[in-house]
């Protein structure tokens, strides 16, 4: 328990040595479970808001033409079982996304000649995600519940309130989320400490990873909304 607390605290106060140390020890399971459970709880708490907001978006999309009046009326209705199911399904989805994300971080650094195995980089990825998925997730979940909207801005998009969330500029700016940048910087420091490579080289590789990740997300988001008629 002391190790978990120290790792958790160290990611915030001293990310480079902390993440570098846990990467070497491959100590990731406790933090991984904590992040998954926290995400499930946040999803459960904010579900009534996101369900109503999602229903509004669906009614205003081309998909609404394919639904009956009864189906449209029931879009924002849910049972306790549906709410719980939605929260629990976040666990395998997020776990898979973290594995994929860590794999590409590992791939980028491996191509660049950095030392270490996938488990080392997965450990670093998980611990750095405390900043984004744990603290960022809790804050965003709280704001969703308080503001009664799922459109919570914690990045550059907050400075451009007139942008439509479906526009390319909005999707691009959404990649520059303060918690995501914090997590990437912490991971950069941790990998530099673990792999014994210069901070400049580590930062360059991480920027390339960020650009790749952003391009994939922007493309997926844009074409998904187009397919849904939004």
The whole-number average pLDDT for the span 184-213 is 95
The chain-wide mean pLDDT, for the chain, equals 89
Give the model's confidence band at 56: pLDDT under 50 very low, under 70 low, under 90 confident, else very high: confident
Q: Which of 42, 14, 34, 15 is nearest to 139 (CA)?
A: 42
Q: Is 154 in contact with 178 (CB distance < 8 Å)?
A: yes
148 Ramachandran zone, left/alpha/beta (phi>0; psi -120 to 50):
left
The whole-number average pLDDT for the span 156-170 is 85
Q: What pLDDT, on a 0 to 100 scale, did the predictor assign at position 223?
A: 79
Q: What pLDDT, on a 0 to 100 scale, did the predictor assign at position 3?
A: 80
Q: Is 30 in contact with 4 (CB distance < 8 Å)?
A: yes
The pTM of this model reads 0.89
Alpha helices in the chain (DSSP H): 2-13, 15-25, 29-59, 69-73, 80-111, 118-129, 137-147, 168-174, 178-195, 199-227
| Cα(201)–Cα(174) distance, integer angstroms | 26
Q: What pLDDT, on a 0 to 100 scale, did the predictor assign at position 166?
A: 77
| Cα(5)–Cα(133) distance, integer angstroms | 17
Contacts of 145 (CB under 8 A, 6+ apart): 45, 46, 49
Q: Which of 164, 153, 171 is nearest to 222 (CA)?
A: 171
Residue 177 phi/psi, 5° resolution? Answer: -85, 135
Give the model's confidence band at 164: pLDDT under 50 very low, under 70 low, under 90 confident, else very high: confident
| Cα(72)–Cα(42) distance, integer angstroms | 26
Would you state the structure tokens that stand for residue 219, as one six-digit string? 């493309």
Res. 76: pLDDT tops 80: no
Res. 19: pLDDT tops 90: yes
Res. 47: pLDDT tops 80: yes
CB atoms within 10 A of CB 215: 12
Contacts of 100 (CB under 8 A, 6+ apart): none
Q: What pLDDT, on a 0 to 100 scale, did the predictor assign at position 61?
A: 67
Give the model's confidence band at 37: pLDDT under 50 very low, under 70 low, under 90 confident, else very high: very high
Q: Is 124 in contact with 187 (CB distance < 8 Å)?
A: yes
**165: number of CA atoms within 13 Å, CB side?**
9
The whole-number average pLDDT for the span 146-154 is 87
3-state secondary structure of 151: coil
Give the model's confidence band at 71: pLDDT under 50 very low, under 70 low, under 90 confident, else very high: low
Res. 2: pLDDT tops 80: no
Residue 151 phi/psi, 5° resolution? Answer: -90, 80
Res. 123: pLDDT tops 80: yes
Residue 56 CA from chain centroid, whole number: 24
Give the model's confidence band at 229: pLDDT under 50 very low, under 70 low, under 90 confident, else very high: low
């Amino acid at each position: 328990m002391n190790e978990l607390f120290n790792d958790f605290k160290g990611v915030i106060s001293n990310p480079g040595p902390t993440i570098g140390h846990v990467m070497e020890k491959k100590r990731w399971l406790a933090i991984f479970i904590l992040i998954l459970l926290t995400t499930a709880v946040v999803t459960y708490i904010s579900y009534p808001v996101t369900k109503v907001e999602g229903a509004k978006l669906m009614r205003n999309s081309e998909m609404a033409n394919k639904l009956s009046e009864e189906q449209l009326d029931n879009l924002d209705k849910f049972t306790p079982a549906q709410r719980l199911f939605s929260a629990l399904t976040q666990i395998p989805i997020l776990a898979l996304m973290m594995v994929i994300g860590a794999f590409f971080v590992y791939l980028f650094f491996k191509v660049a000649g950095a030392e270490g195995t996938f488990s080392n980089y997965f450990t670093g990825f998980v611990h750095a995600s405390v900043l984004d998925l744990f603290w960022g997730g809790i804050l965003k979940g709280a704001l969703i519940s308080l503001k009664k909207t799922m459109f919570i801005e914690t990045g550059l998009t907050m400075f451009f309130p007139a942008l439509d969330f479906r526009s390319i500029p909005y999707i691009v700016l959404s990649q520059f989320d303060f918690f995501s940048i914090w997590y990437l910087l912490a991971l950069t420091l941790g990998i530099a400490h673990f792999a014994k490579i210069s901070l400049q080289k580590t930062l360059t590789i991480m920027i390339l990873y960020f650009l790749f990740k952003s391009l994939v997300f922007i493309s997926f988001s844009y074409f998904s909304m187009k397919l849904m008629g939004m």
